[in-house]
């Protein structure tokens, strides 16, 4: 039987310890992260059972309790929304799964200073083939008046105003990684105690990496600068910092997580038929841009820093390039030439 290592901080212990350095902090962000951690554990249980769906009951069928078995992404959405609604730190949410924001509008929530945007289950198209998927979240301080219901303007803020951003990866182990301006820290779920434990303190992404991640199938849809860069990646050899390796899972949380740790670049460019690409600015690009910048990397839409984009629509899309500083600069040089 494995013993519990008391030297390892749990997510709760870590966020409480962070508070000690800030006597004026209210603890609201810590409680919000605790709420998200709880949702992540519940989602994790269901994701782990995904392969059993055919024997336990298919989507849309009725389970033993007489309830309809929900699709996993709907389940994840409800979990995230539920913990944030019942917590004391969130005035409202925006979700990739829902057309509009949800304003909690009760006495406690209206006093909360934060709003949260999330993609409850990114890469959910991969569930059927047992590929790692994830939850992505982003926390903003509201700009509307405290004591009143939050408003859409609280959600349509540029990414640079994020207070925290993070993701949960349901992989060979389950991890929660989150960033504040002070650093990026990763916690691995210890199933024996059901707690996220600090396993990757103060993550910094390598200045240069050797991995490039892009959907090659769309190569001829990309603009010339991007194609030039992909060609450059293929031509890298021992003499000029290579060879580079192409890795693309098609599940952004897994692709960017791997590149964050090992060093690399992830690209979802605009295409001839979809000039803004596929990824959503508020739910996918901004949180990862924030995390990678805090870790020492860079993120752009090919023209400008992602975190500076002023959003106008909750579900707007953006081309997205993110990764190690050195590789991002190589890409920028190709796009300028
Ligand atoms: P989803 O919102 O349907 O889950 O799609 C988002 C996913 C990302 O995780 C991933 O990076 C991208 O779609 C892959 O798209 P493509 O198959 O076009 O390369």
Whether the per-residue pLDDT at 107 is higher than 50: the answer is: yes
Indicate the DSSP class of residue 259: H
Query: Could you tell me where the beta strands, DSSP code E, fall in 153-309?
Result: 162-170, 174-180, 183-190, 195-200, 211-213, 245-246, 264-268, 298-300
List the single range of 118-132, 153-167, 220-234 with lowest mean pLDDT: 118-132
SS (H, E, C) 299-322: EECCCCEHHHCCCCCCCCECCEEE
Residue nearest to atom 16 of ligand 1 (CA): 250
> Exposure of 35 by Cβ count < 10 A (0-12 exposed, 13-18 middle, 19+ buried)?
buried
Report CA(151)–ligand 1 centroid distance (Å). 29
Ligand 1: atom nearest CA of 217 is 19
User: What is the value of ipTM here, to two decimals?
Assistant: 0.89
Ligand 1 pocket, residues with Cβ under 6 angstroms: 122-125, 215, 250-252, 268, 278
Average pLDDT over all residues of the chain: 92
pLDDT in tens, 257-315: 999 999 999 999 999 999 999 999 999 999 999 999 999 999 999 999 999 999 999 99
pTM confidence score = 0.93
Which residue is it, tokens 């989150």? 178
Atom of ligand 1 nearest to the CA of 134: 9
Q: Give the model's confidence band at 6: pLDDT under 50 very low, under 70 low, under 90 confident, else very high.
A: low
Residue linked to tokens 């991640």: 213
Give 159 or 126, the one with higher predicted confidence.
159
- What pLDDT digit, counting tens, does each position of 30-87 carry? 999 999 999 999 999 999 887 776 554 455 555 454 555 558 889 999 999 999 999 9
Distance (Å, whole) CA 42 – CA 55? 20
CA 253–ligand 1 middle distance (angstroms)? 10
pLDDT of res. 66: 52
- Residue 282: CB atoms within 10 A of its CB come to 26
- Name the phi and psi angles at 104, rounded to 5: -70, -35
Mean pLDDT of 123-139: 90
Mutation to probe ligand 1, out of 71, 122, 171, 287 (largest number of atoms < 8 A from CB)? 122
Provide the pLDDT confidence category of residue 1 given band limits of 50, 70 and 90. Answer: very low
CA–CA distance, 183 with 268 (Å, rounded to integer)? 25
Token pair for 238: 């021992």
Indicate which residue's Cα is closest to atom 15 of ligand 1.
Answer: 250
Q: Which atom of ligand 1 is nearest to the CA of 122?
A: 4
Res 193 pLDDT > 60: yes
Give the number of other Cβ atoms within 10 Å of residue 269's Cβ. Answer: 28
Atom of ligand 1 nearest to the CA of 119: 2
Counting every residue, how long is the chain? 337
Phi, psi of 115, rounded to the nearest 5 degrees: -125, 155
From the CA of 201, how far away is ligand 1's center (Å)? Answer: 28
**What pLDDT score does 22 carry?**
78
Close Cβ partners of 240 (under 8 Å, ≥ 6 residues apart): none
Which residues lie below 8 Å from residue 82, measured CB to CB, with a gap of 6+?
39
What is the whole-number distance in angstroms between the Cα of residue 40 and the centre of ligand 1? 20
What pLDDT does residue 62 have?
55
Order the strands of the 298-300 sheet from edge to edge: 245-246, 211-213, 264-268, 320-323, 298-300
129 confidence band (pLDDT: 50, 70, 90): confident
Least confident of 10-24, 35-49, 74-88, 111-125: 10-24
- Report the binding-site residues for Mg(2+): 96, 119, 121-122, 284
Q: How many CB atoms lie within 10 A of CB 52?
A: 9
8 Å CB contact between 90 and 84: yes
Query: Contact 219/234 with Cβ under 8 angstroms?
Result: no
Report the pLDDT value the prediction gives residue 50, as an integer from 0 to 100: 78
The greatest distance separating any two alpha carbons of the chain, rounded to the nearest whole angstrom, comes to 64
Q: What's the CA-to-centroid distance between 116 and ligand 1, angstroms?
A: 21
Amino acid 130: pLDDT: 86
- Counting from 1 in the atom list of ligand 1, the atom nearest the Cα of 215 is 19
Residue with tokens 């991890």: 175
Q: What is the pLDDT of residues 194-216, one digit of tens each?
A: 999 999 999 999 999 999 999 99
Question: Nearest C-alpha to atom 14 of ligand 1 is from which residue?
Answer: 250
Bridge partners, 198 (sequence order): 187
């Amino acid at each position: 039987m494995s013993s519990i290592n008391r030297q390892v901080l749990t997510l709760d212990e870590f966020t409480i310890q962070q508070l000690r350095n800030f006597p004026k902090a209210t603890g609201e962000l810590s409680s919000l992260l605790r709420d998200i951690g709880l949702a992540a554990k519940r989602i994790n249980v269901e994701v782990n059972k995904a392969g059993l769906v055919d024997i336990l009951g298919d989507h849309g069928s009725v389970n033993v309790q007489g309830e309809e078995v929900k699709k996993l992404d709907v389940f994840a959405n409800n979990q995230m929304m539920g913990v944030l609604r019942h917590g004391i730190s969130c005035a409202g949410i925006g979700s990739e799964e829902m057309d509009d924001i949800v304003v909690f509008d009760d006495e406690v929530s209206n006093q909360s200073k934060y709003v949260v945007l999330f993609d409850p289950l990114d890469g959910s198209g991969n569930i059927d083939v047992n590929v790692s998927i994830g939850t992505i979240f982003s926390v903003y301080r509201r700009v509307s008046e405290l004591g009143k219901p939050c408003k859409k303007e609280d959600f349509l803020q540029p990414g640079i105003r994020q207070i925290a951003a993070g993701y949960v990866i349901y992989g060979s182990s389950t991890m929660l990684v989150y960033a504040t301006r002070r650093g990026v820290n990763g916690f691995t779920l210890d199933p024996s105690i059901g707690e996220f434990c600090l396993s990757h303190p103060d993550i910094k992404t390598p200045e240069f990496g050797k991995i490039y991640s892009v959907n090659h199938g769309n190569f001829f849809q990309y603009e010339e600068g991007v194609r030039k860069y992909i060609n450059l990646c293929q031509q890298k050899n021992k003499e000029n910092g290579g060879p580079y390796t192409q890795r693309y899972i098609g599940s952004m949380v897994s692709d960017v997580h791997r590149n964050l740790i090992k060093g690399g670049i992830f690209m979802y460019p605009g295409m001839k038929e979809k000039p803004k690409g596929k990824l959503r600015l508020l739910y996918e690009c901004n949180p990862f841009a924030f995390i990678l910048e805090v870790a020492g990397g860079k993120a752009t839409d090919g023209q400008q820093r992602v975190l500076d984009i002023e959003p106008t629509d909750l579900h707007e899309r953006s081309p997205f390039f993110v990764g190690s500083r050195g590789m991002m600069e190589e890409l920028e040089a190709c796009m300028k030439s």
